Amino acid sequence: MRFKNVFSIIGPSMVGPSSSHTAGAVRIGRVARQLLGCQPEKAQITLFGSFAETYWGHGTDLALTAGLLNFDTDDERIPEADIEAEKTGMSMEWVQGKGNGPHPNSVKITLWAGENKAEIVAASIGGGTIAVYSLNGFDVQITGEYPTIAVTHSDSQGVLANLTALLSREDINIGYMDVDRKGRSGAAMTVFELDSAPAENIIKEMINQPFILEVTMIDLTQRS
């Protein structure tokens, strides 16, 4: 069964005109923003396929911008997201992608704020549902439909055991988990899709575990 929820049939609540090109784009923008962890100062957005071809009429550019401002899919400021972005001082650069991208509706977003940088590759796969293919250069597979933790760590023994033990202690069930490493003993990323959102102190506790470099919470289920 591809659909498991009545609110994926009646819903989402969204600003039009297209669930894939508008609502999905807002959600992708929000994932990027949450990965960066703060308001971006600069954004570079590369559009592929149908996103590059029809973004204008669907407001995909405004929708992605709105997501970077952490707006939700039904935020009525989406049509003026470019003006809202200007108010924050965020500079935007738009690039036409070369080649096909991983899906007909794909986008690569790179964000900067001070010393921080974040990069995602994602696609809008229909009905507002998104697929995130890459976080900061690591291959992942997440949907944004569950509270998600992205952990960057060194590729060392016991790291995953520590993290899963911590989640288990907090009675948090892991729905999906994915590990990618740059190379043996190099940097690695593990993502957890969880059935419930962990408290902030759990995230802090994770960061203090050995070999952990960074822990980021991505949660589109929370209203902005």
Residues lying near another protein in the complex (CB under 8 A) are found at 1-20, 22-23, 47, 50, 52-59, 61-62, 74, 76, 78-79, 92, 94-96, 126-128
Q: Rounded to the nearest whole angstrom, what is the least distance from the CB of residue 37 to another protein in the complex?
A: 26
| Tokens at 215, concatenated | 């822990």
Return d(Cα 184, Cα 155) in angstroms, integer. Answer: 7
Q: Rounded to the nearest whole angstrom, what is the least distance from the CB of residue 85 to another protein in the complex?
A: 11
Residue among 50 and 148 whose Cβ is closer to another protein? 50
128 phi, psi to nearest 5 deg = 90, -5
Residue among 141 and 221 whose Cβ is closer to another protein? 221
Q: Rounded to the nearest whole angstrom, what is the least distance from the CB of residue 173 to another protein in the complex?
A: 11
Smallest CA-to-CA distance from 149 within 209, 59, 78 is with 209
Residue among 193 and 206 whose Cβ is closer to another protein? 193
Smallest CA-to-CA distance from 41 within 78, 10, 80, 68 is with 68
Contacts of 14 (CB under 8 A, 6+ apart): 22, 23, 26, 73, 74, 128
Residue among 9 and 161 whose Cβ is closer to another protein? 9
Smallest CA-to-CA distance from 20 within 56, 58, 48, 46 is with 58
Residue among 11 and 37 whose Cβ is closer to another protein? 11
Q: Rounded to the nearest whole angstrom, what is the least distance from the CB of residue 53 to another protein in the complex?
A: 6
Q: Rounded to the nearest whole angstrom, what is the least distance from the CB of residue 206 to another protein in the complex?
A: 25
